[in-house]
Every structure is written in C-alpha cells, then in structure tokens.
Amino acid sequence: MNLEVIKDVFQSIKDNKKVQGFMKELSEYLESNIKNNLENSRTQNLPIIESILKGKQVATGNENAIRFGERDTILAYAKENEKKELYFVKDNKKVYWKNNERHYNLEAYTIFKVQDGKIEEMEINKQDMPKNIQVNDVCFLENGEYVVDTLATKELQTAINNMANDILEKQENNLENHRKEGHEYLVTEEVGNNRFLRDITQNSKTEFEEVDIPEEIIQDATQGMMLKYINGRYEIKNKEE
C-alpha cells in the first residue's frame, strides 16, 4: 500500500477521535450549562433567556431563534401536558415605550399567558400575585388566585434550556465545520464582536458568522481584512505571506 495513503488513513482516524472527544466535551459542557442556567435564573431573578445568553458568544440569527423559541416552547409544553391555561412569569418588570424612550413599570410582572392553544404577553400587578413567586415560575388560577405550579415550573424551565442548548450545539458544530487549519478568511461584515467570514482558501461563495474572534485582533478585524486560522484561533494574515 502507498505510504501516503497509510498516512491519510491514520490522520483520518486521529481526526475522528478528536471530533468524538470534542463532542463528548461539548455535551458535558451543555449539560452543566443547563444546571447553571437554572440556578442563576433562580438566585439572580433573571429572565431565563437572559440567563442563558449571558456571557455567551452567539450568532445573531441564533440569538433571535432562542428568543423566539421561548414562546414556541411554552406553547408546546402546554399542548403536550394538556394545560388549557397557564401563566409564565417572564420578567419582574414591564417594559414600555414613551416619547421614543424605554421605560419600566416596576409594579408589574410581564407574563406569558397561554389559553386554548394561544399565547399572549400581558402584565399583572405584583399585588395580585403570590409573595413567593419568582421570575420564570409557572402558575395557574385557582378560585381567583394565582398559585405556583412547582412541577410545571421545573419542567418548563428545563424545556426552554434544552431548546436553547440545541441551538447553541448546532451553532458550535456548524462553526467547527467552517474552521479549517491554515485556511484564509475574508471579513465581509462586522456585527458587534462577531464577524461574517468567507473561506478564501476553499474559494467558498457562502459566508458564516464567526462568534469567536480573539479580543486582541477584534479592532483590526474589519471589513475587507484577511484572517488566517492557525492553531485553533484566528490571526490577522501577514501581508507578506
């Protein structure tokens, strides 16, 4: 057998083991994230979506998918568990706009109300809610009073976390497919600290949103600049290369 072929086979096996190792680490990381997100949202009284996204590197489209996915997840949970009506405490304040400025009503909770397969955002005065209620709790009406459903709260919070982590896992898998050692990438657009890149080495016609640009090069990684992926990170390409 040709020596180069043998080398290619062993390299393929080595790369496959790296991928398997990466996927195992990613899975363990995401499982740990679910526990941390639930704990943070409870202790800090943060809306669960904000707790999930806090400190994360997320592509624009995926952040939107997570935010919109919260409503879909709540609806799906209500349908699967045959709950004709439930109330999910989204935030401990109500945001409203006046004279083109954002204002907050701190006397009301923002609530997602699910009824007969439909969801709507509403506000409920804090005086009308149980004193022990927290953000991200699920409650229902009983004899005209709101009662916290502890089991539904735990199940729905877990479902929302799973939805978000599925999106984040797909994002990481997609980026790993784009990140290729030694390849050169053209910066085509800047979105905050993210950069849309096109693989020049592969002569790709498609772009992808990279969320992990090293902090030390972020100011120089502007539209039209060339980056190179070396040793698992991006660098500004040397013009003399």
Q: Read off the pLDDT of residues 62-75 as tens digits, 9 standing for 90 and up.
A: 999 999 999 999 99
pLDDT over 80 (residue 56): yes
Same-domain check for residues 128 and 54: yes
CATH code, 225: 2.40.50
Rounded distance between C-alpha atoms, residue 190 and residue 53, angstroms: 20
Closest Cα partner for 230 from 241, 219, 222? 241
Confidence of residue 36 (pLDDT cuts 50, 70, 90): low
pLDDT over 50 (residue 15): yes
Give the mean model confidence (pLDDT) for residues 123-145.
95
**Per-residue pLDDT, 45:** 84
**Looking at the domain assignment, is residue 24 inside a domain?**
no
To the nearest 10 degrees (0 to 180), the angle between helices 60-80 and 150-178 is 150
Give the mean model confidence (pLDDT) for residues 175-189.
97
**Looking at the domain assignment, is residue 1 inside a domain?**
no
Number of domains in the chain: 2
Closest Cα partner for 79 from 137, 164, 156, 135? 156
pLDDT over 70, % of the chain: 80
Give the mean model confidence (pLDDT) for residues 83-109.
93
**Per-residue pLDDT, 73:** 98
Rounded distance between C-alpha atoms, residue 241 and residue 228, angstroms: 11
Could you read off the pLDDT of 105-130 as tens digits, one per residue?
999 999 999 999 999 999 999 999 99
- Amino acid found at 119: I
Q: Which helix (H) or strand (E) holds 235?
A: strand 233-236
**Looking at the domain assignment, is residue 23 inside a domain?**
no
**Per-residue pLDDT, 68:** 97
- Cα dihedral across residues 28, 13, 180, 204: positive or negative: negative
More confident call, 42 vs 195: 195
Rounded distance between C-alpha atoms, residue 185 and residue 207, angstroms: 10
| Residue 130 near residue 153, CB atoms below 8 Å | no
Torsion of CA 121, 122, 125, 129, to 10 degrees: -60
Same-domain check for residues 218 and 158: no
| Residue 200 near residue 180, CB atoms below 8 Å | no
**Per-residue pLDDT, 156:** 98
Same-domain check for residues 97 and 113: yes
Confidence of residue 41 (pLDDT cuts 50, 70, 90): very low
**pTM to 2 decimals?**
0.79
Give the mean model confidence (pLDDT) for residues 82-91.
96
**Per-residue pLDDT, 238:** 82
**Under 8 Å CB-to-CB from 204, ≥6 apart: which residues?**
198
Range of the domain at 185: 180-236
**Looking at the domain assignment, is residue 6 inside a domain?**
no
pLDDT over 90 (residue 16): no
Confidence of residue 216 (pLDDT cuts 50, 70, 90): very high
| Residue 41 near residue 48, CB atoms below 8 Å | yes
pLDDT over 70 (residue 175): yes
Same-domain check for residues 139 and 48: yes
Confidence of residue 12 (pLDDT cuts 50, 70, 90): low
Long-range contacts of 207-214 (CB under 8 A, 24+ apart): 208/174, 208/175, 208/178, 209/59, 209/60, 209/61, 210/175, 210/178, 210/185, 210/234, 211/57, 211/58, 211/59, 211/171, 211/175, 212/57, 212/175
Average pLDDT, the chain: 88
Same-domain check for residues 192 and 73: no
pLDDT over 60 (residue 215): yes
